[in-house]
Amino acid sequence: MFGTLVDWRTGVAREAQLILQPHRIAIDWIAFADAWRDEYQPAMEEIRSGRLPYVKLDVVHRRMLQKIIPNFGLEKIPEIALDQLTLAWHCLDAWKDVPVGLARLRKRFRIAPVSNGNIALMSDLARRNDIHWDAILGADIARTFKPNAAVYLSAAEAFGLEPGECMMCAAHSADLKAAAASGLRTAFIARPQERPGVSESLPSVPVDVDARTTEDLATQLGL
């Protein structure tokens, strides 16, 4: 979802500016979004490893935000504004191919997010971007985070499918590698604009389909 379907970087930067500028904060908003996202893997790892119990991504995003407060001089921002800021992740726009690409894929396939995002977060992003999921699967169903195998396997199981009947689609090779290890098929969707210079333009692992966009994926799958 994040990066593959929605542009978290400019969306979080925009929402942060909207919420923090009235508090007389003037920072590099894109750098702020990047710094917040950079806390993602360490925060996930606390839970994936079992050191902390599962909590939904909204809660993890709030913890991640707490860590970067000193770096951006946000110590005096009221708690309520920080809680509101955490919901920035619910207000992200999809890449422009997504509504049409997913609608084409849904003609033949059941489609569901298998994201680390929680159900409320996924349903808000779907509403905003006119996406019609068949179900919302992922971390909130598995009660742990990707790339733990339980997340991919619980998603297949929820649809009553074998892993090999499912295809994990993502812009991130690590995600696809873990899905493939659980027996799912994989499709790479290139999002070089997710974080220019850092994001992958090509997968670094073998994939079943290597697509440029969701529309290209639909075409390659014969739709």
In the complex, minimum distance from the CB of residue 168 to its own copies, in angstroms, rounded to a whole number: 17
In the complex, minimum distance from the CB of residue 101 to its own copies, in angstroms, rounded to a whole number: 18
Nearest CB to its own copies, comparing residues 40 and 159: 159
Write down the residue that tokens 């992958």 correspond to: 200
Neighbours of 42 (CB within 10 A): 10
In the complex, minimum distance from the CB of residue 47 to its own copies, in angstroms, rounded to a whole number: 17
Binding site for its own copies (CB under 8 A): 58, 110, 118-120, 122-123, 126-127, 132-137, 140-141, 158-160
- 99 backbone dihedrals φ, ψ, rounded to 5°: -60, -45
Q: Are 82 and 62 in contact (CB under 8 A)?
A: yes
In the complex, minimum distance from the CB of residue 140 to its own copies, in angstroms, rounded to a whole number: 7
Q: Are 6 and 125 in contact (CB under 8 A)?
A: yes
In the complex, minimum distance from the CB of residue 134 to its own copies, in angstroms, rounded to a whole number: 4
Q: Which residues contact 211 (CB under 8 A, 6 or more apart)?
A: 169, 187, 188, 189, 190, 217, 220
Nearest CB to its own copies, comparing residues 23 and 132: 132
Nearest CB to its own copies, comparing residues 18 and 111: 111
Nearest CB to its own copies, comparing residues 39 and 124: 124
- 189 backbone dihedrals φ, ψ, rounded to 5°: -120, 115
- 139 backbone dihedrals φ, ψ, rounded to 5°: -55, -40
- Whole-angstrom CA distances from 174 to 112, 134, 147 are 19, 25, 8
Nearest CB to its own copies, comparing residues 23 and 127: 127
Of 161, 166, 170, 62, whose CA–CA distance to 118 is shortest? 62
In the complex, minimum distance from the CB of residue 208 to its own copies, in angstroms, rounded to a whole number: 23
Q: Are strands 167-170 and 209-211 parallel, antiparallel or unpaired?
A: unpaired
Nearest CB to its own copies, comparing residues 114 and 211: 114
